Amino acid sequence: MGVVLFAIGLVFCSFSFIVSVPEKADLIAVDNFSNFYLVADKKIQKYNPDGKYLFPYEEFRYGKIGAVDVSNPMKILVFYPDFSTVVTLDKFLSPLTTYNFFTMGYQNITAVASSIDGRVWFYDNVDFKLKKIDESGKVFRESQPVNVLLEEALNPNFILERDTKVYVNDPEIGVLVFDMYGSYSKTIPLKGLKKFQVLQDQIVFFDDAHLKSYNTFTLETKSLTLPDTSDVKLAVIEKDRLGILKTDKADFYRY
């Protein structure tokens, strides 16, 4: 497979095909060490930057995996929404800690995220606050009631911490930006998103067989053509790697 020009903002790169992994998956992720993760039902498989299979993780007690956050590769977060449970994993995909939000007294948790300090961000739908807790449930940071700040209720489906900011996504409202102390900063008017990545000053998300980037300073959106757009379910990019998820396989690229 040949080399393909690709652009993130104003930076042009050439992509070259690495390998195809013949696995059916629901989600694909890539960490900042360029390791890939394929998520299917109750299972996670980790691959190195060259597509070599490394480690598995599988857990049947908590239902289907709803989200995986690999922004902290030393403490990967796995969210099981049906049981309102988070399991954190080390770099070998071995379990470290378990957060059960029901037993902590929290109900209807729809979005969680890993923090660089090893704790967990989540949105409390009862008192309308973004919170950071440890595995015992101790609250280290929390926002003001977001419904008061926005004058409307928030229903987040995705949270991400990146570069001293916390991004809370509501498909109907947009992307809310908080600092590391939980203080609200602004709302980015991107609606309808399910998940995204943050690369420097850009929000990168998959939409209609393309990766798109939204520049948070210029407010411009650019459509980024993938090396292969046939039967693409999801795509992720990080540093020097691109992962493309299809119906029955995942393709990995370098640049």
- For the cut 50, the answer to whether the pLDDT of residue 1 exceeds it is no
Is residue 195 within 8 Å of 156, Cβ to Cβ?
no
DSSP string, the chain: ---EEEEETTEEEEEEEEEEE----SEEEE-TT--EEEEETTEEEEE-TT--EEEEEE--TT-S--EEE-SSTTSEEEEEGGGTEEEEE-TTS-EEEEEETTTTT------EEE-TTS-EEEEETTTTEEEEE-TT--EEEE-S-HHHHHSS----SEEEEETTEEEEEETTTEEEEEETTS-EEEEE---S-S--EEETTEEEEEETTEEEEEETTT--EEEE--S--TTEEEEEEETTEEEEEESS-EEEEE-
Strands 197-199 and 4-8: unpaired
Above pLDDT 70, what percent of the chain? Answer: 95
Mean pLDDT along residues 72-81: 97
Q: What is the pLDDT of residue 210?
A: 87
Which has more pLDDT, 219 or 85?
A: 85
Strand order in the sheet with 85-89: 67-69, 76-80, 85-89, 95-100
Query: In this predicted model, what pLDDT tens digit does every residue of 23-36 receive, in sequence order?
Result: 999 999 999 999 99
Q: How far is CA 103 from CA 83, 84, 125, 127, 245, in A?
A: 11, 10, 16, 17, 36
Query: In this predicted model, what pLDDT tens digit does every residue of 28-63 receive, in sequence order?
Result: 999 999 999 999 999 999 999 999 999 999 999 999
Give the phi and the psi of residue 126 in degrees, each rounded to 5.
-90, -50
Structural domains in the chain, CATH included, are: 4-254 (2.120.10.30)
Query: In this predicted model, what pLDDT tens digit does every residue of 192-223 receive, in sequence order?
Result: 999 999 998 899 999 988 899 999 989 899 98
Q: What is the pLDDT of residue 213?
A: 93
Q: What is the pLDDT of residue 239?
A: 85
